[in-house]
Structure 1
Amino acid sequence: MNTNSRLERANDNATAFWLAQARVHGWESRTRPGLTAVRCARTPDDAHRIVVTRPYAEPAVLEQELAALLDEWSTIRFTLEDPYGGLDLTRFGATRLPIMPVMVRDPGPVEGATTDLPAVSETHDGETLTVDEASDGDSFALVERTIVEGFPLPARRPWVRGEALPEPLLREPGWRAWLGRVGGTVAGTCLTYDDGQATGVYWVATLPDWRGRGIAKAVLQTALVHAHPDRPATLVATSVGEPLYRKLGFTEQARTCWWIRTSAAG
């Protein structure tokens, strides 16, 4: 598998992850070769999501297409993922975030992980840490709240059950959620989405009071072992998470450029 196919596998998984949410929420979406857009619409100013999945020959042509789509959807806010780095969306009133690595981990054993579920270990300060799959509505609501408050997702605050992650997502094929507790108290979480080719890791979150105690590592180890260990795992890393992901065997495939617009273009 060459670098390009690894990157495109990660891009395709991100697309499938957002399309699964679109199906459950009832959001409009638009897909054509090389580009997928989701019209997230809890409120009129929810940020729409756009993922570029394949290289483009002419950035100006793609930018023109994006301008037409944003106009058609009356888009106020958006987030666009461009793993090829050729777009300049400043004319849309967008800001480029710090470049982040797209990372892939080949199938294989996860060092330090257990195949038991729930997985039981200790935090760095000796407390009992349990990681299990969130497979019912109440535990999935805890996952949702932890992501909203710990990732965080400011647009979804204050947290309202089911607004960000409705319970029917649990019935979407490939969609799974993982929840870490310390002494029974929720501490961290992540989501995984398997599209049949790769398993994407999303929204790895630790609540502020539990950071620095190995929660994210334990949750991610469990997810990697149990979600679909025979497939490559993919993710986009923040600067905070990247060292952990490298320790768990993820390697950089490309550096993706994310553009965000938080208000209507002037």
Structure 2
Amino acid sequence: MNTNRRLERANDNAAAFWLAQARAHGWRSRTLPGLTAVRCARTPDDAHRFVVTRPYAETCVVERELANLLSEWSTVCFTLEDPYGGLDLTRFGAVRMAVMPVMVRDPGPVEGAPAALPAVSQAYGGGRLTVDEATDGDGFALVERAIVEGFPLPARQPWVRGEALPERLLDEPGWRAWLGRVDGAVASTCLTYDDGRATGVYWVATLPEWRGRGVAGAVLRTALAHAHPDRPATLVATALGEPLYRKLGFTEQARTCWWTRTSVEG
């Protein structure tokens, strides 16, 4: 089996990101060779999360492990990330979503990033953009709401403080939240998770009225420059975000296939 160390590093970070959420929420989880599973349980039909982390010689092995977990956990909905693209989960009632690039940025300086926090700029329609780290409960709640409404996360709407991202996540080592505000109003945000080997970037979100104005780029540059710039940075890019990530030095390692099921198969 061919392995791509950069890709596996990104996979491991994604798995660790979900395991950190499992600890904060008190969810069950399982780490198997090549597969990490989290039983998200905010509601009975909350989508359980599965991340394939290593190449597989036989798809039937992964699918058997998945079937066992779906049965054990009485799973209704789930999302599975397969960066190797060989699984077919239609027999589980899952639908294949858009294929997205897994991207990695090598350690190094971030062009245009601020040297200190908070970062302040006057270049946003005459407004004053401030980017800083959210380190307390109130700041983290602003980040959570921006992600729920701006990413968006429809299953978590209307926003309820702490339901999607509880404040306990701030106690998880490596978990950091970044907040961009224009004249004090929340405009854009993202999360980073450092697992000791790489820093993953997650849920880059911009509220509708600020899209296309460079605010997300400013937030991301700040996060990359201040969240362990000595480590590789990883992310999965949406079509909307990919051009920005390429400008910031991210390169594609693979194209990951996400499968999702929104109800029990008939």
Place the TM-score, normalised by the shorter chain, in its bin: over 0.9
1:126: how far off? 3.3
1:263: how far off? 1.1
Matched, 1:205 2:221: no
1:67: how far off? 1.2
Asked if the contact 1:123–1:214 (Cα under 8 Å) also holds between the matched residues in 2, the reply is no
Tell me, what secondary structure is at the counterpart of 1:205?
Answer: strand
What whole-Å deviation, never above 9, does each CA across 1:212-232 have from its counterpart, x for those lacking one? 111110000000000111000
Matched, 1:38 2:41: no
Tell me, what secondary structure is at the counterpart of 1:69?
Answer: helix
d(CA) in 1 for partners of 2:63, 2:34: 13
1:114: how far off? 1.1
Tell me, what secondary structure is at the counterpart of 1:55?
Answer: coil
Tell me, what secondary structure is at the counterpart of 1:23?
Answer: helix
Asked if the contact 1:113–1:222 (Cα under 8 Å) also holds between the matched residues in 2, the reply is yes
Structure 1 unmatched runs, 5+ = none
d(CA) in 2 for partners of 1:123, 1:138: 27
For residue 92 of structure 1, what is the aligned residue in structure 2? 92
Larger displacement relative to structure 2 (45-54 or 207-216): 207-216
What whole-Å deviation, never above 9, does each CA across 1:78-104 have from its counterpart, x for those lacking one? 010000000000111111111100000
1:122: how far off? 3.6
What whole-Å deviation, never above 9, does each CA across 1:27-46 have from its counterpart, x for those lacking one? 00010110000000011100
Tell me, what secondary structure is at the counterpart of 1:51?
Answer: strand
Asked if the contact 1:47–1:77 (Cα under 8 Å) also holds between the matched residues in 2, the reply is yes
For residue 259 of structure 1, what is the aligned residue in structure 2? 259
Q: Which amino acid aligns with 1:13?
A: N
For residue 215 of structure 1, what is the aligned residue in structure 2? 215
What whole-Å deviation, never above 9, does each CA across 1:7-37 have from its counterpart, x for those lacking one? 0000000010000000010000010110000
TM (norm. structure 1) is 0.98
Larger displacement relative to structure 2 (118-127 or 206-215): 118-127
Q: How many residues align?
A: 265
| Counterparts of residues 62-211 of structure 1 (less than 5 Å) | 62-211=62-211
For residue 235 of structure 1, what is the aligned residue in structure 2? 235
Tell me, what secondary structure is at the counterpart of 1:158?
Answer: coil
Asked if the contact 1:96–1:258 (Cα under 8 Å) also holds between the matched residues in 2, the reply is yes
1:125: how far off? 2.7
d(CA) in 2 for partners of 1:233, 1:116: 20
Asked if the contact 1:103–1:253 (Cα under 8 Å) also holds between the matched residues in 2, the reply is yes
Asked if the contact 1:3–1:253 (Cα under 8 Å) also holds between the matched residues in 2, the reply is no
Q: Which amino acid aligns with 2:200?
A: G
Identity of aligned residues (%): 82
Q: Which amino acid aligns with 2:41?
A: A
TM (norm. structure 2) is 0.98
For residue 18 of structure 2, what is the aligned residue in structure 1? 18
Asked if the contact 1:21–1:169 (Cα under 8 Å) also holds between the matched residues in 2, the reply is yes
d(CA) in 1 for partners of 2:110, 2:252: 18
1:127: how far off? 2.1
Cα root mean square deviation, aligned: 1.1
d(CA) in 2 for partners of 1:54, 1:111: 33
Asked if the contact 1:24–1:169 (Cα under 8 Å) also holds between the matched residues in 2, the reply is yes
